[in-house]
Every structure is written in structure tokens, then in C-alpha cells.
Structure 1
């Protein structure tokens, strides 16, 4: 508690606190600390006590906190005069300040996150001697997008519950060959979404928490993919089926994504090309799926995937504006991946046939011919979408067209 000064007339009035008989091992340090918080750096706080042996613990505490202290017994009793030290004195000398908590502040997100900041909140003051954490992605220009916070807020608001957003109890019955086609497509979707989960999850563990907006966005993307895997798997089992076929070519294609060590290149291959293409596929399924459950799943998953593409485009757009040479590196990554996969079978033939059957809506020759035409239209739509995104990033004319055509036949 703070009491008015009772110093004799003529002596300067100082802020005064009486800690009464509270010991420093029982909370008196907190009383002094709070009182010092109400005086400016360099000003003096008078401390009195009615206890015994309090001077030594007070002096030791002041030294640890960077405050000066002297004792005066001239008034017939001992009192301490504590001069408040600088904010980063004592144990906080050489502490690190880690930016600002407000992302709108100019110094909020710093260009380089230091290893010794560790897991501290951005804007916190980190005591010297804190352990260093080996976060590989520690530069803002490696990972940042100005829209990350907005995209995270949109993603958080748009989360959906698989139990309630999809009417699993809707009654429908499909011919066996059509149900088998749905199961094969869902099996294919699961393995691709496994890749789309693993890639951001791997980078998430390498990302310095200073870039918390990107960290949060990657985390919610992982949650999106986990939910997609769940609903695709539940659709497979809805009518008692087991999963369909997975090809070596498809697995090889996805392994190139999982193995890519560069964050920007991985975002390019996965989000801009792969997930962008998958948005077209999911919209196609929403239009042509033979049952309402599959249509609901496709519609909801497409909405999530579009946000993933938006982050990839935003990150790469800013990165290319800062480093135009990145375009060449991205183009080389597409060509290298194409060459690596040249000997593989590409899209699972069973998946291609399943898409034709779903788009056909029947098994008459005319139906199958129409379904085949619709799938060809899907492939063209995918290619146009990739080319448009490449052009938006800065690839010119024929380069955008050629790179779009080199994208893996496995879609992702």
C-alpha cells in the first residue's frame, strides 16, 4: 500500500510505499515493483518497512532488477530510497525486443527473426541467455504474404463441421459401376490431399513463430486437408465399399511435392499449380457427381482449396515483385518435375474412366461419348486456369502456355 509522505518540513517529498511487515519472500517485492511502475526511470521511490531484516533482500532484488538503492536512518528509522533503473537494466540488460504485436505497425514483422527469440510472442522482450531455436524459415522474404492475416480470418470463419455440413443420411442408391466410380475418385482424392496436408505441415515445423500470421494460415490449411481426407474417406465407406486403386505413377508425382525443400517452390507447385487444378476438378465433381453427398463434399472442399491457392498466389506475387529472378527458378522447377515424371503413367486410368462415367450420367454409347467430351473440357479448363495463374505471376505469353502444359498429368 502507498501512504502519503510524513517527512519533516523542508525535506523533498518523494513517492513512498510502506510494505509493513510483509517479507520479500512473501510478496513484498511485488509491492515495490508495482510502486516503481508508477514512477519514471531515474526517479526515486521511498520504501519503508515495519519488519526486521528486510534491507538485505530489498538490496538484492534491486540489483537483480537494475535499480539503485541506498538506506537512510537519519529520521530515527531505516528507510530505503530506490532509484528506478532503465527498462532493460538488471536481468533485462541485452534483452531482445521482437518487433511489435500490432501487425499494422511499421516494425511489427521484422525482416529477420533471430534464433534466440525462440517461441516468444512477437513484441515480447526476450531475456538474454534464452535458448536458440533452429527454425530454418526465419526470413520474412522467404514466407511472407501481406494477406496472410486476412486469409486466416476468412478461413477461421469458414470452417465447417463434417458431421453437420454434409447430409450423410440422404437416401440414394447408385448402380454398382457408378458407386465404384465415386469410390475410385474419392480414393484418388485422399492420396492427393494427404500430400496437400504433409507439405504445409512439414514447413510449419520449420517456420519461425515471429511470422505468426503465416504460421496460423498454414495450420488451418493442414486442418482443412485433414477434414477433406476425413470426408472423402467417409464417402468411400458410405455404401460399404473399400478404397480403390493407387498407382505408382500417382505416388511418384506426389512424392516430388513432399520432397521439395524450398518453401516458395513448394507453394508454386502445390498451391498455384496443383491445388489450383484441383479447384477445377472439385467444381467438376460438384456439377457432375451422381449423388447429393458427393456434390456437397466437392463444393465445400473447393471453397477451402481456393483459399490455399490465394495464399500461394499472394506469397509468390510479393516474392517475384521483390526478386524477379524467382520466375526463372519456378519455371525451372516445373520443367525439372516434368522430366522427372516423364517415364511415369500419369493419371490413374481408373480415375480417368471414373470421371468419364460420372460425367456421362449413363452407360449408353451416347452418354459415354458425352462424358468423355466433358472430361476433355475439364482438362482444357484446368490448363486455362493454370495458364491464367502463371500469367498473373508474370510469365509471359508462350512461357505461361508451355509451363501450364508441362504440369503433371496426375493433376496435383
Structure 2
């Protein structure tokens, strides 16, 4: 055996004090040693022995002194020693590794990055959503990546120099529908935002997906508001029934049920509405913004669906709770007016394109087809979630007349 290999490595920190970074030299020299090997440390700084001893204790490195204490022998010790003795292991940063995303994130992990070791003794963070089953989907990372790629800038993606040359009554109808859509998008922003603040950061893929959903809705509110003002108008009417319907979404405390009511039923229905406007709106700007918004909303529906499929796989009893939530919301809103007359009439005018008998007849038929398409879409998504056909038809019909 090579006798030189048995001798400890020596590092001279010379006149560099431990209060000026000498510990970095020692720390990095130790990282190159095998467990149990020693590092010989020398220094020319007065009192360095006490400072080295204190640092070694804090890091969990055994320390021996040579005669006269002119040099010290540090052993590599254990990564779990010293201040890290009771550190928590928080899984793996890579979500593709088995066990990376744990079923439960303890309160003591706080805001630490997943995969980090968390020193004991930190604060307790009480996140309401800290059990994976309650909100997770394995598709979150992919849907977030899709959202990142699909982001669009209202200033460059849309032509705001468009000339609005359609009749004033059609413009008034667009303003009323945009007003209605703004308040619905406010709800679609606030629901995920409320849960986002309750979600443990360990589940960062879902955190990111929900954050992108909030950003999408903020952009929709911006472009719908700008569209209202483009013709010199202010927002139109907001009804008590519409506000009551949307408040029921914000009042729902359960993430899965809120996702079901908002994303699967409400936003899914809104995709049909946006497609209707993409087809029949009187100007290319409105058609383009609705096309882009519909693409975003379809992603939100996919996130809600994928979460519910994930949870229903291991918790089929959730299906009955979802049905009860639809029934309870229907009963709550039974006394409200549903979709306000102004919005319904505005949709007919947009579908008609003109204030003439034959055109109005066409517009009315187009809105009736829209309502059928909305119901068919809800029915199809309910089937995908495992509801029987009769139950899916019944629940689809119970969905709020306010669309969202």
C-alpha cells in the first residue's frame, strides 16, 4: 500500500481568518475526501483554533489536535451530522423519478424546493392542500409546458386597429356579452388563485399549472375590457342572478368539487360560447380574441378533467359527491333568473348579424344550437368521468343556466 495515501491531506489557510471565508477552503477540501479520511489544517491567524473547533462542531466533523495545537485533524464525518442531523428529506426534484412527488408534504418542509434537505427547527407552514390525492394530476407538468408555449401577447397577437363598421345595435350586443364574460372570467381567475395560496409548494407542477391558469384569465379580462372600450363604450349590465351563480363557485371549499364545477362544467361550456363568438362575432378582432381564449380555456378544462380522473381512480366515491354538488348548486340557484335576458338577446343579435326578421330567426336558431352543443359537451365530459348515461344527462341539464 502506498504510504503517501495513508497521510492526511494538508490545507494551509495561512492568514485568512474564519471570519473572512477560511471555512470555505476547509469545507471544499473535505468534500474531496472519502468517509473517515482526515484533513490536516494549519493556520497563521491568532486564535484560529477556537474558531475552527466551533465550526467543526456545528458541521459535525470530529476534530483532533496535534501536539502543541499547531495543526488540527478534521475527519469528514457524516452528511447527517451537526446542524443537518435531523434534516428532512423532501423527495426528488425530478418528477419522473419514482416517489419524487410524495403523498403528503409535512408542514415543516415549508417553502423548500422539492429535493432539498430541510434543517430541523424551522417554522411550521400550514397549507390546506398538502395531501396529493386532493388536487394532483400526473398531467400537471405537461399542461404547464403547453401553457408556456401557448402564451400570447394581446398587443402583438391581435389587431387593435380594426375598423368597427357594423351596426350600433350589434356593437351594443358585443359590449353586453363582453361585460358578461369579464365577470365570469373574474370568477375563473379567483377560484384557482384562492386554492393556489393553499397548495403546498412540494407540488410545484400543480402550483405552476394553476398559476398559468390565473395568468390566462387575467389576459382574457384585459382583452375583453379593451374590446368593450374600443368602440367608446363602457361595460354594460351585470345581474344579481349572474353574480349569485358565480359566488357559488367561489364559496366552494373543496378543490376537486370547485374544479369540477368551474373547469369541467363551467369553462367547458364557455369553450362552446367562445367558439360561437369566433364564428359569428361581427369583426375580426373579436373573432381572433375568442379563438385564442377558447384555446386557453380548453387547457383549463383538461387540467380539471385530468385531476378528477386521477382522484376518481382511487376514490370512486367522489363521483357521488360531485353529483350532489351539482344538485346543491342547482337548488341554490333555483330562484335566480339564470342567464340574463340582455346577454341571451345579445347572443341572438350577434348570431343574426342584423336587426331583420330573417336574420333574427337565424340568430335564434344558432343560439339554440349553441345551448345544445354546451349540453352535449357537458354530457360527454361527465361520461368520461364515469357517470352512467342517464345520470350524465340529468346532471348536464341541472347545470346553471348562467353557463358558467
TM-score (structure 1 length as normaliser) = 0.96
Contact 2:191 2:250 in 1 (8 A): yes
Q: 1:37 aligns with which of 31, 39, 63?
A: 31
2:11 aligned with 1:14, yes or no? no
Q: Quote the offset at 1:201 in angstroms.
A: 0.4
* Matched residue, 1:373: 365
* Matched residue, 1:315: 307
Aligned residue runs from structure 1 range 221-370, under 5 A: 221-370=213-362
* Matched residue, 1:106: 98
Rounded to whole Å, the distance in 1 between the matches of 2:35 and 2:86 is: 17
CA deviation vs aligned residue, 1:138-165 (integer Å, no higher than 9, x gap): 0111111101001001101111001111
Q: Quote the offset at 1:56 in angstroms.
A: 1.0
Rounded to whole Å, the distance in 1 between the matches of 2:63 and 2:5 is: 18
CA deviation vs aligned residue, 1:304-332 (integer Å, no higher than 9, x gap): 00000000000000100010000000010
Change (3 A) 1:308 1:11: closer
* Matched residue, 1:4: none
Q: 2:59 aligns with which of 61, 65, 70?
A: 65
* Matched residue, 2:158: 166
CA deviation vs aligned residue, 1:222-268 (integer Å, no higher than 9, x gap): 01000000000000010101111111000000000011000000000
CA deviation vs aligned residue, 1:91-126 (integer Å, no higher than 9, x gap): 111111111111111121111011111111111111
Contact 2:63 2:74 in 1 (8 A): yes
Q: 2:123 aligns with which of 124, 131, 134?
A: 131
* Matched residue, 1:5: none
Q: Quote the offset at 1:299 in angstroms.
A: 0.4
Contact 2:91 2:114 in 1 (8 A): yes
* Matched residue, 2:41: 47
Q: Quote the offset at 1:18 in angstroms.
A: 1.3
Change (3 A) 1:66 1:257: same
Structure 1 gap ranges (5+): 1-8
* Matched residue, 2:82: 90
Contact 2:167 2:354 in 1 (8 A): no
Rounded to whole Å, the distance in 1 between the matches of 2:137 and 2:164 is: 44
Rounded to whole Å, the distance in 2 between the matches of 1:172 and 1:203 is: 40
* Matched residue, 1:6: none
Q: Quote the offset at 1:12 in angstroms.
A: 3.5
Q: Quote the offset at 1:11 in angstroms.
A: 9.9
Rounded to whole Å, the distance in 2 between the matches of 1:411 and 1:18 is: 74
2:391 aligned with 1:399, yes or no? yes
Q: 2:137 aligns with which of 140, 145, 162?
A: 145
CA deviation vs aligned residue, 1:268-289 (integer Å, no higher than 9, x gap): 0000000000000000000010
2:393 aligned with 1:410, yes or no? no
What is the DSSP-based 3-state SS (H/G/I as helix, E as strand, rest coil) of the residue aligned with 2:206?
helix
What is the DSSP-based 3-state SS (H/G/I as helix, E as strand, rest coil) of the residue aligned with 2:217?
helix
Contact 2:164 2:231 in 1 (8 A): no
Structure 2 gap ranges (5+): none
